[in-house]
Structures are given as C-alpha cells and as structure tokens.
Amino acid sequence: MNTDVALFWVQEAIKTAVLLTGPLLGAALVVGLIVSLIQAVTSIQEMTLSYIPKMIAVGTVILFLAPWMLQILTDFATHIFAFVPLISN
C-alpha cells in the first residue's frame, strides 16, 4: 500500500464520519441555540438546563436516521473489506 492509497482511505473515513455526525451536531446546535435564546429572554441562567433538550434532540435524530446511518457504515465497511485482498506487500 502506498501513501496515496492510505490517504484516500483516511479521507473516505473522515468524509463518512462527517456525514454521520453532521445531522447529530446540527440538531444539538439548533436546540442549544433555541434553549439559549429562551434562557436569555427569561433571564434563567442555569447552565445545565440545555443538556436534557440536546440529549432528547440527538436521541430523536438517531432514532429516525439509524437505518440511513447503518447503511452508510455498512457500505463503508464493505468497501474496505473488498479492498483488503488488493493490498500487496
């Protein structure tokens, strides 16, 4: 395996990680902004108040996107295992 091939697989792994975590981080960001806005409007300054809504939002996104996420991971693993026999020493 040469450097170009290794860099290709690292790049694919990073792309897959970003693709899978993007919706989760986006949901947490949106919920965090909404909770922060509500806290600013109501003058509630409790730092731990935003954790539960974020966890619920991320859990809901995982619940709905789990089949898609599993398909992406399965495709990536299949591509990696199909490439393993092509590696020459």
pLDDT of 74 > 90? The answer is yes
Q: pLDDT class for 89, splitting at 50, 70, 90?
A: low
Structural domain span for residue 52: 3-86
pTM: 0.80
Evaluate whether 49 touches 35 at the Cβ level (below 8 Å): yes
> Which tens digit of pLDDT belongs to each residue from 8-56?
999 999 999 999 999 999 999 999 999 999 988 988 888 788 899 999 9
Q: What is the tally of structural domains in the chain?
A: 1
